[in-house]
Amino acid sequence: MIGREVLAFAWGSLWAARTRSALTVSAMAIGVAAVVMLTWLGESARAFVADQFAAIGVHLVVVLPGRQETVGGMPPILSEIPRDLTIDDALALRKSPSVRRVAPLAFGTAPISYGGKERECPILGSTHEMLAIRHLTLAQGAFLEGVDPHRGAGLCVVGSKVREELFGTGSAIGRFVRIGDRRFRLVGVLAPMGTSLGINIDETVMIAVADALQLFNRASLFRILIQARSADTLASCEADVLAILKQRHGGEEDVTVIRQDAITSTFDRIFVALTLAVAGIAAISLVVAGILVMNVMVVSVTQRTAEVGLLKALGARARDIRAVFLVEAALLSLLGAVLGVAVGKGVQQLATEFYPALHGDLPVYAVAAAVGTALLSGVVFGVVPAQRAARLDPVLALARR
Amino acid sequence: MIELVAIERTFAVGDQVVRALDGVTLTIAPGEYVSIMGPSGSGKSTLLNVLGLLDRPTAGHYLLEGRDTTTMTEDDLARARRERIGFVFQFFHLVPRLTAAQNVELPMLLAERAPAERKRRVDELLGAMSLSPRAHHRPDQLSGGQRQRVAIARATALEPAMLLADEPTGNLDRASSHDIVDLLEKLNGKGLTLIVVTHDPNLGERARRKIRMADGKIVGDVR
């Protein structure tokens, strides 16, 4: 028989047993939909985390005071006291040609008050370069421009929520606020940007780094944020930073340098592994569906013994019979796969409607893998029944009625 | 031309060997009208299966139109069944989900004939069987006589050289039986070799050549 005729014939017999066919198709569809949707959820989560990291800036290198060993084992009971990470350390990093921007960072919390209203805020002390490194945008005013890192400026920039709570609808620029026991002139308001990596920028207040160190009475910076010139210079930037700081700290490697891409890629790997694991578990249901296809085909061959005998009497070759039953099995799987992808797509569109954070389309590789596995399991499990049908003895097959 | 030379067909049933055919030698010329009669278990159905290439003899030679079928491959046998042999069964063996027209079309599908040719031939055959108005009915919507006529139309679709009928009237009432026998004899009149296996003496006696079987042997061959 020719392909088209085999297809029509196989379709005819599936249609004749449509309840049974539909049930098998749905089993396959559930399997395919599960694989596709779980992979998509995993990919969404990965994309979400990647976006979070991208939001804090690009080509970032972060310096933390103190050496943090990540070799496992018991943490030291008395941690060595690290040398201070100073503003001069931060400024010295500008020497490296790989470094584009440097922002020293001091951190603490303090009450900010204006006109009888007061709230506790995270306070970030930094320089003008912070704006570009962290991709912050200003709604109004300026961001600590031209402030000497070594000297206090008495200026502050507030997040959008802080501004709203302290000033309501009134104007804020130029007002004096009190942070801790000092007076600061408000020179800028940040545009709303929400939470990134656990810190809500809208609720923070930014002041000059020297002011912050005085305010919190600290000698050491909390972090130094460095932006490398490009993704390619990240490695040399990291090396330069380590080398410069080691030299400045008397040959002691007492800082920790973290590259943003290292964190991102770690998270990436974790999410890829999780996605594959979950999709792999879902793929088991495809094999189960494949066994169901086999079961249905075995029943079909048994019920159609006389038909197979007749086809043989009419001159069908073993390969014609095999083709008919294999195509039936493949059709069941293919229909299941198509239905499964359609269901997955539907659920994905519905879900993104309600949870826009779940962005992205169904991953093409997952759709391809699910459909491929479905077809493969259907055909592989279809071989045995098809073979059984092709080998039927026509005399015995026709004798049954 | 059919030549059977010392055909044996044995079956192992448990530890016993049953000789269904025991040294059958038989020559049937093209266009003959042969009936094969005999009691149950005499081997007449086995003989028909061997003649129809559905069963291979254990020993002996079967020459169909000069070719030794005992050395043919499975695919060659399928081809010979398709193009040279038509089967008519007691229980019709129509595919229940296919219409009359689709059942008649089946052998032409297997022979990979072009769709237009298939359609023309199906119309022609159903017309000749006065079944045209029933072309799109399924078997369960047809009477026994009509079903057997569909089966005969299917058996003759590829213009075979011989027609093998196994109790063709065994499941029909008297009137339909008469119709079917008439039809088969008309086909024989056009030169088709007709071989009928039957219990029914009335049907058997109509053949020009009457073969009797008992215990796997030919015990009578009357012309």
Cβ distance B97 to A5 less than 8 Å, yes or no, reads no
Phi, psi (deg, nearest 5) at residue A268? -55, -50
Percent of chain A with pLDDT over 90: 24
Q: Are A292 and A281 in contact (CB under 8 A)?
A: no
Of the two residues B219 and A197, the one the predictor is more confident about is: B219
pLDDT over threshold 90, residue A397: no
pLDDT in tens, A131-156: 888 888 898 888 888 888 888 888 99
Residues from chain B contacting residue A390 (CB–CB below 8 Å): none
Amino acid A301: pLDDT = 87
pLDDT in tens, A288-337: 888 888 888 888 888 888 889 899 989 898 889 999 999 998 999 999 99
Amino acid A10: pLDDT = 87
**Local confidence band at A364 (pLDDT 50, 70, 90 cut-offs):** confident
Amino acid A227: pLDDT = 92
Rounded Cα distance between B178 and A324, Å, is 37
Average of pLDDT values for B20-31? 90
Contacts of A110 (CB under 8 A, 6+ apart): A120, A121, A123, A179, A180, A215, A216
Q: How big is the A-B interface in CB pairs under 8 Å? A: 62
Average of pLDDT values for A20-47? 88
Residues from chain B contacting residue A313 (CB–CB below 8 Å): 52, 54, 81, 87, 93
pLDDT in tens, A48-90: 887 777 777 788 899 988 875 555 555 555 555 567 889 999 9
Beta bridge partners of B162: B85, B193
A9 and chain B in contact, CB less than 8 A: yes
C-beta neighbour count of A121 within 10 angstroms: 21
A314 and chain B in contact, CB less than 8 A: yes
Rounded Cα distance between A218 and A221, Å, is 8
Q: A209: which 2 tokens?
A: 């780094």
Cβ distance B87 to A313 less than 8 Å, yes or no, reads yes
Residues from chain B contacting residue A1 (CB–CB below 8 Å): 109-110, 112
Amino acid A9: pLDDT = 87
Q: A247: which 2 tokens?
A: 């030299």
Cβ distance B87 to A314 less than 8 Å, yes or no, reads yes
pTM of the predicted structure, to 2 decimals: 0.73
Of the two residues A356 and A181, the one the predictor is more confident about is: A181
Amino acid A211: pLDDT = 92
Three-point CA angle A368, A357, A198, nearest 5°? 125
**Local confidence band at B36 (pLDDT 50, 70, 90 cut-offs):** very high
Rounded Cα distance between A376 and A67, Å, is 53
pLDDT in tens, B169-182: 888 888 888 888 98
- Sheet containing strand B67-68, edge to edge, reads B16-28, B2-13, B59-64, B67-68
Separate counts of helices (H) and strands (E) for chain A: 12, 12
**Local confidence band at B17 (pLDDT 50, 70, 90 cut-offs):** confident
C-beta neighbour count of B106 within 10 angstroms: 23
**Local confidence band at B162 (pLDDT 50, 70, 90 cut-offs):** very high
Average of pLDDT values for A230-254? 88
When the pLDDT of each residue in chain A is averaged and rounded to a whole number, the result is: 86
d(CA A294, nearest CA chain B) in Å:
22
pLDDT in tens, A175-231: 999 998 899 999 999 998 877 666 788 899 999 999 999 999 988 999 999 999 988
Amino acid A115: pLDDT = 86
Q: Please tell me which of the candidates B78, B89, B106 has its beta carbon nearest to residue A317.
A: B78
pLDDT in tens, A101-131: 999 999 999 999 998 888 999 999 999 998 8
Percent of chain A with pLDDT over 70: 94
Amino acid A110: pLDDT = 92
Amino acid A381: pLDDT = 86
Cβ distance B81 to A310 less than 8 Å, yes or no, reads no
Phi, psi (deg, nearest 5) at residue A160? -65, -35
Q: Please tell me which of the candidates B55, B78, B91 has its beta carbon nearest to residue A315.
A: B78
Average of pLDDT values for A327-349? 91
Q: Please tell me which of the candidates A314, A394, A401 has its beta carbon nearest to residue B107.
A: A314
Beta bridge partners of A126: A208
Exposure b/e, A29-40, CB count within 10 A at least 16 = b: bbbbbbbbbbbb
